[in-house]
Structure 1
């Protein structure tokens, strides 16, 4: 596997070197730094970006066996489908610069944080069995919603989905519980910190203060969460009363007392929060450059600390506990491979949007602005709807840059615009199975445990009925 990866990287670098003889059309900015003018790019350049996102959306459903074994090759194909033509037309120097820029400043920090949260959360195991009454189920959804902002939607979802399913094994109806779990724990609950959901972490990497989301997203997140929890409690109570109160009386359910294994991982979760906060408040003014890409020392320190925390979790957690938790490395490996292609193929899309009215996506820019003023309703709905069918992390980044990409301005006079982008990306990632990484993971675990989960479009029916009215309400309360 390692030799194959080395050969792949070598092939990419060799291709770039060979193709460097192509015409270098890129401009050179200040200090000799390569510069890509998005106004020169046509929409054909975003075809690989659309290709990887459509592959993620459709292949797991249409070609599940092929996708399971070859998703890494599909990801590499779309990445090279952009890089090779880009190197031909713009030269290897700009291709190398853009690859290093997005890799060192966005992709690696993103995947390191996600990997640390995944590893540490996977070391916490809830033992024993609860009985899935409406009160218990609603309580678990509430706890998961609160936890998601501090251990990530992926971490919280992977921690609680199995105990929730175990608690409801005696129930005749369980689909609604898993669906609302995806709504709340895997999406809406991650609204309050950059740790909660990948798009917010990308905002943090681009200069948004750590606690900006906590203060500004609290009101819309609380509104949607409380309403969804109330609707769920009523729905679950009705279904529970129809079934008749059943008790889980099997010997197996009482073999273990209710408890938690791997408690040290809660301390490690606090350490992750501390490492991320450190990079946001410690500004020593020290940096180094890698081919014109400036890497701040505080960000490097954060990533090193996160890797060390993940390694500590592996060392301090009993292997048997992870095994019983159903822990495997496949989900994070899949995310790492797929997002490598997403982050590199999104480069031209961001460049075009940054060109504004001079770019090929001027029509999109025009929808979210009126005489130079942002139309926040459109920012909320366009970010949200695209997050539903593409992926909320890159979609957030696209509209963040469409709004100017200046974190100070977006946190200040344009705070409502940043709120619209953030809420749209986080909330509406729940609309489909592919809107946010944990959604499909939760569905897969539920199906494996025998829960008859709805199809792709069946799940959308649930989201249209229960989520869309919430988002209309959020629109009128916060953005009109």
Structure 2
């Protein structure tokens, strides 16, 4: 018992050790110990394991888990760093990162949820490959979540009379729910966080196009070969009854396509319009163009709700549950990551100096392959958005430097976060959503580890080849 109390005392000391008075927003990352990262680790582990170990408890109380870890960070931060420093850091994260991030996700989720594809096609290998290619292309425009919501049900309907259809959903997760979102900040949350940090909107389009194109072509070719083999294999069996006979495809909620164009225009506006008007709030500088962007995104989402007929959203089984969960969990993530980013910004003077050494060559240059694999492997099991931020800061955190002389390093971080989110059901938010929808439609989806057998056999060799081709 005494040893346990002693350990608690040591941990408390690590959090509450006094430091000199700090300015608003400066929490002294160089003087922080590794213990400050424990709430962040606890938050991510809760997200990774909660839905698996205690799904019913998690489903009803995930917000309380997020609040617990956030409080476990904020209370010691105020007590040891002072109210002004803690408030400044919290406002910086909330106003410059969390709110723009969640507003974009909300807008894409709302607008994409108003686009319905009705009708049914016959799930032949050629049709399935075309549908996967279309969804992959859409992912960088409407986001991986939006593209997954729009395309998964048409793909399931097309294959609901197939005996072998599990592989169709698995490749859908690989391509549409993950890799397809790698070409713009709209595609996947990590890239939008990079955009908020100063990465140009079209930087990923130009710098990840070869890596993305290679991965997409290889996976589509592999899918077509596998699906053709399974399709021929089914010819020897009696045909199954088709619960959704072939009908002409029809697109509903077309006004939302215009609204999506408005989302893109608003983000490009914030990147290119620099009026020089800045509002200061407790040391946090809010620029007019960013505020205008967020207001426009909210207006576009409101227009989508107003203009989209209710039956269209009902056809998509639209509900607010997923975006509520993302909003609550990411609030916890963004709070808990505050000291982690501060320690990473301290570089070799901070507690994560060994990690700096792990991604550095002997001459001090960046080990690009290590950035790709470390970002990717952590993104496979933790959320890929905060993982991206961690390695972005580890690489220096200067967007102008990373986009130029550090371009290969930033490409490796971006590709690792987006591509390897496909390695498990919990690597990216749409993965589990697609799994749940497919399982509800009676597709015999593999278990958590069964899915990883698929991703390990198909994706890991692909990523090894990409390492030698692009990240050396």
TM-score bracket for the superposition, by shorter chain length: over 0.9
| Matching of residue 49 in structure 1 with residue 49 in structure 2 | no
User: Hey, what does 2:81 align to over in structure 1?
Assistant: 90
Shift of 1:250: 5.0
Alignment of 1:184-333 (within 5 A): 184-244=175-235, 252-254=244-246, 257-333=248-324
| Matching of residue 127 in structure 1 with residue 118 in structure 2 | yes
Distance 2:306 2:235 in 1: 46
Shift of 1:271: 0.6
Shift of 1:33: 3.8
Shift of 1:23: 8.4
User: Hey, what does 2:51 align to over in structure 1?
Assistant: 60
Q: How many residues align?
A: 455
User: Hey, what does 2:359 align to over in structure 1?
Assistant: 368
Q: Does the CA contact (< 8 Å) of 1:353 and 1:359 recur in 2?
A: yes
Q: Indicate which of 432, 448, 454 corresponds to 2:424.
A: 432
| Matching of residue 473 in structure 1 with residue 465 in structure 2 | yes
Alignment of 1:3-152 (within 5 A): 25=19, 27-28=21-22, 32-152=23-143
- 1:257 is paired with a residue whose SS is strand
Q: Does the CA contact (< 8 Å) of 2:160 and 2:244 recur in 1?
A: no
What residue ranges of structure 2 are gaps of 5+ in the alignment? 1-15
Distance 1:233 1:81 in 2: 50
Distance 2:444 2:43 in 1: 28
Shift of 1:130: 1.0
Show structure 1 runs of 4+ deviating over 4 A: 245-252
- 2:376 is paired with a residue whose SS is helix
| Matching of residue 452 in structure 1 with residue 444 in structure 2 | yes
Shift of 1:391: 1.0
Give the 3 Å change call, closer, same or farther, for CA 380–127 of structure 1 in structure 2.
same
Shift of 1:248: 7.9
User: Hey, what does 1:154 align to over in structure 2?
Assistant: 145
Q: Does the CA contact (< 8 Å) of 1:192 and 1:218 recur in 2?
A: yes
Render the CA deviation track for 1:413-472: whole Å, top value 9, x for unaligned.
111111111111111111111111111111111111111211111111111100011111
Shift of 1:251: 7.9
Shift of 1:24: 6.7
Query: How high is the TM-score relative to the length of structure 1?
Result: 0.92
Q: Does the CA contact (< 8 Å) of 1:24 and 1:91 recur in 2?
A: no
Render the CA deviation track for 1:107-154: whole Å, top value 9, x for unaligned.
000010011001011000001111111111111100000000011000
| Matching of residue 377 in structure 1 with residue 333 in structure 2 | no
Distance 2:175 2:293 in 1: 29
User: Hey, what does 2:5 align to over in structure 1?
Assistant: none
Distance 2:266 2:210 in 1: 27
- 1:467 is paired with a residue whose SS is helix
Shift of 1:253: 2.5
Give the 3 Å change call, closer, same or farther, for CA 122–360 of structure 1 in structure 2.
same
| Matching of residue 396 in structure 1 with residue 388 in structure 2 | yes
Distance 2:78 2:439 in 1: 44
Q: Indicate which of 157, 162, 172 corresponds to 1:181.
A: 172
Query: How high is the TM-score relative to the length of structure 2?
Result: 0.94
Shift of 1:372: 2.3
Q: Does the CA contact (< 8 Å) of 1:26 and 1:36 recur in 2?
A: no
Q: Does the CA contact (< 8 Å) of 1:187 and 1:427 recur in 2?
A: yes
Render the CA deviation track for 1:35-58: whole Å, top value 9, x for unaligned.
122121111111111111111111
User: After alignment, is 226-235 or 351-360 more displaced?
Assistant: 351-360
User: Hey, what does 2:398 align to over in structure 1?
Assistant: 406
Distance 1:107 1:276 in 2: 16
Q: Does the CA contact (< 8 Å) of 1:23 and 1:88 recur in 2?
A: no
Q: Does the CA contact (< 8 Å) of 1:27 and 1:35 recur in 2?
A: no
Q: Does the CA contact (< 8 Å) of 1:151 and 1:269 recur in 2?
A: yes
RMSD of aligned residue pairs (Cα, Å): 1.5
Shift of 1:257: 3.2
What residue ranges of structure 1 are gaps of 5+ in the alignment? 1-21
Render the CA deviation track for 1:147-182: whole Å, top value 9, x for unaligned.
000110000001111111111110111111111100
- 1:260 is paired with a residue whose SS is strand
- 2:120 is paired with a residue whose SS is coil
